[in-house]
Amino acid sequence: MAEESRNFIHAIIDDDLATGKNGDKVITRFPPEPNGYLHIGHAKSICLNFSTAQKYHGKCNLRYDDTNPVKEDMEYINSIEEDVRWLGFEWDARLWASDYFDTMYDAAVELIKQGKAYVCELTADEMREYRGTLTEPGKESPYRNRSVEENLRLFEEMKAGKYADGEKTLRAKIDMASPNINMRDPIIYRIAHATHHNTGDKWCIYPMYDFAHPIEDAIEGITHSICTLEFEDHRPLYDWVVNNVGWWPNPPQQIEFARLNLTHTVMSKRYLKALVDDGVVDGWDDPRMPTIAGIRRRGYTPEAIRNFCEEIGVAKANSTVDIGMLEHFVRDDLKDKVCNKNVVIDPIKVIIDNYPEGKVEMLPIENNGNVPELGQREIPFSREIWVDGADFMEEPVKKYFRLFPGNEVRLKAAYFVKCNEVVKNEDGSIKELHCTYDPETKSGSGFTGRKVKGTIHFVEATTAVPIKIRELDYLMDFGEDGRAVTNPESMKVITAYAEPSIKETKPGDRYQFFRHGYYCADTKLCTEDELVFNQIVPLKSSWKPE
Ligand code: ATP
Ligand code: MG
């Protein structure tokens, strides 16, 4: 990995280290809201935060941003931790934003005492009306000039549960004429009579994200709070909160970068949850899902994802990355790691008429042509074999060098065979091909007598193992109107024939199915009797590295 890469965030950190702004400290955090499974966009944020901390020998916290009083879901918490670890990172501390509710409350009281926050009674509709627009300044709330004492009393009463949801809010007193609408007296506390997974019924007021997040960062001594570009306009409020509460001599700095967008991919937990809830997919870890759990089950590797995140870098402007580039990194990582297996799809039976009946010979074959260290295995060969449907054409098109009547091809690791006859079923489909082999041409014999243009693979018929393959296509896309649409044909389950050594497969094992693509044995569906493989990526890519 390009360890020396230095993005604009690293440039900021280098400057801060040079000026001694935070001493020699670099502390980052990854702050998921535990309301769903993490997706590949989160992977970008995880890689950035954790590897930045690593680069500077700093720290990175895993912080659950649980300031919303929703039911805790242990399933989500567990999945988040599994995903971060699977990507290869370990947090320095695991923290909960809700543990800071007392400090946040005290910070709000502090602002009230300074005359910088007030209890407002405008309804949501009124507040919208008062807020103004991008071209018009807002109007001040009639409650804006309450005395500190009255505000303290009312806020205390809000906390004590005297008011209903929405009846009152606590707002920061900033500037209703600010060109930045986020600065027009934003709400910092709201009333919500809801039970919180951590604090139970202790609170019926909850801090808003823009108030809570900077305080969480400040409490933890985060030096660089990395977030996505949508929060750029919120940065003045972030700074306002930490500076006006005033308890932190070295307040954290928010830095925004462009979120990761991928073609064919909707990155929103809410949308992904709907796919799960509606049964469009088989759970959060369905191998078609862009969740980390999904791509892990599909067979993507953490190295591939880290390399991809490193390569796309950190941008300051939003863009959409071709998903082919992610697939390229997956293929690139697998190509020198995994062994081949011969697997025949859409099989055609081939009978080698001049090969002795009843004879089976074991032929050595390399596990990975690029990597001799991965060694060899043996595959059986006999008079009856299967070949890929795509490796035969009765009437060959131009430049087709595989099997067709009268043509000779090389069977990988075996012999040259020549197709002599096509036998059909009554319905016109192919029953079998009759071929002859040339014993002189045995692989490894050094035969140079003649050349053939095509090499195909095969599976010996009597020992072939039927396996199930799930061929995957993109699950989702954006329609012309930009709305998400799902592809009803995103998974095609087929039966194929594999060489007998496939039986050694354990769930999670990855192979190249020779000449087809990369596949991973499903971690949930494989049984004693049946192996089920998910397609990881096809062999060829439409995406080209620059
Ligand atoms: P979603 O809309 O999918 O729920 P979120 O941003 O609300 O995403 P959080 O759990 O709040 O999800 O995000 C945790 C962290 O991950 C945040 O710092 C957020 O900025 C970052 N993040 C989320 N999506 C992306 C993305 N597509 N690219 C980069 N970072 C992301
Ligand atoms: Mg969120």
> Closest Cα to residue 456, out of 500, 504, 414?
414
Q: According to the model, what pLDDT value does residue 54 have? A: 98
Q: According to the model, what pLDDT value does residue 545 have? A: 64
Q: According to the model, what pLDDT value does residue 3 have? A: 45
**How sure is the predictor about 538, in pLDDT bands with cuts at 50, 70 and 90?**
very high
How confident is the model over 10-36, as pLDDT tens digits? Answer: 999 999 999 999 999 999 999 999 999
Residue 104 and residue 212 in contact, taking contact as beta carbons nearer than 8 Å: yes
**How sure is the predictor about 1, in pLDDT bands with cuts at 50, 70 and 90?**
very low
Q: Which of ligand 1's atoms lies nearest the C-alpha of 31?
A: 14
Q: According to the model, what pLDDT value does residue 72 have? A: 67
Q: Look up the pTM and report it.
A: 0.94
- The percentage of residues in the chain with a pLDDT greater than 90, rounded to a whole number, is 94
> Closest Cα to residue 308, out of 295, 293, 298?
295
41 in ligand 1 pocket by Cβ < 6 Å?
yes
Q: According to the model, what pLDDT value does residue 5 have? A: 58
Whether the predicted pLDDT of 8 surpasses 60: yes
* Kind and range of the H or E run holding 276: helix 269-277
541 in ligand 1 pocket by Cβ < 6 Å?
no
Whether the predicted pLDDT of 244 surpasses 70: yes
- Which residue has its alpha carbon closest to ligand 1 atom 2? 268
Mean pLDDT of the chain: 96
* Per annotation, catalytic residue among 131, 144, 259, 468: 259
How confident is the model over 360-404, as pLDDT tens digits? Answer: 999 999 999 999 999 999 999 999 999 999 999 999 999 999 999
Q: Would you call 415 helix, strand, or coil by DSSP?
A: coil
Dist. CA 319 → ligand 2 center (Å): 20
- Average pLDDT of span 64-73: 86
Q: Which of ligand 1's atoms lies nearest the C-alpha of 271?
A: 3
How confident is the model over 94-118, as pLDDT tens digits? Answer: 999 999 999 999 999 999 999 999 9
Whether the predicted pLDDT of 325 surpasses 80: yes
- Average pLDDT of span 260-268: 94
| CA distance linking residue 546 with residue 542, whole number of Å | 13
- Average pLDDT of span 318-346: 96
* Per annotation, catalytic residue among 269, 377, 383, 402: 269
Whether the predicted pLDDT of 543 surpasses 70: no
Q: According to the model, what pLDDT value does residue 396 have? A: 95
269 in ligand 1 pocket by Cβ < 6 Å?
yes
**How sure is the predictor about 70, in pLDDT bands with cuts at 50, 70 and 90?**
confident
Residues facing residue 379 across a β-bridge? 363
| CA distance linking residue 194 with residue 204, whole number of Å | 6
Enumerate residues with CB within 5 Å of ligand 2 (an ion).
Answer: 33
Dist. CA 486 → ligand 2 center (Å): 23
- Average pLDDT of span 401-424: 98
Whether the predicted pLDDT of 158 surpasses 80: yes
- The percentage of residues in the chain with a pLDDT greater than 70, rounded to a whole number, is 98
Known catalytic residue at 82: no
Residue 522 and residue 499 in contact, taking contact as beta carbons nearer than 8 Å: no
Whether the predicted pLDDT of 90 surpasses 90: yes
Give, to the nearest 10 degrees, the angle between helix 40-55 and helix 74-86: 50
Q: Which of ligand 1's atoms lies nearest the C-alpha of 260?
A: 28
Q: According to the model, what pLDDT value does residue 303 have? A: 98
How confident is the model over 159-211, as pLDDT tens digits? Answer: 999 999 999 999 999 999 999 999 999 999 999 999 999 999 999 999 999 99
- Average pLDDT of span 42-53: 98
**How sure is the predictor about 304, in pLDDT bands with cuts at 50, 70 and 90?**
very high
* Kind and range of the H or E run holding 11: helix 8-19
Known catalytic residue at 259: yes
Burial (CB count <10 Å: 0-12, 13-18, 19+), residue 528:
exposed
Whether the predicted pLDDT of 2 surpasses 80: no
Residue 473 and residue 491 in contact, taking contact as beta carbons nearer than 8 Å: yes
| CA distance linking residue 337 with residue 461, whole number of Å | 28
Whether the predicted pLDDT of 546 surpasses 80: no
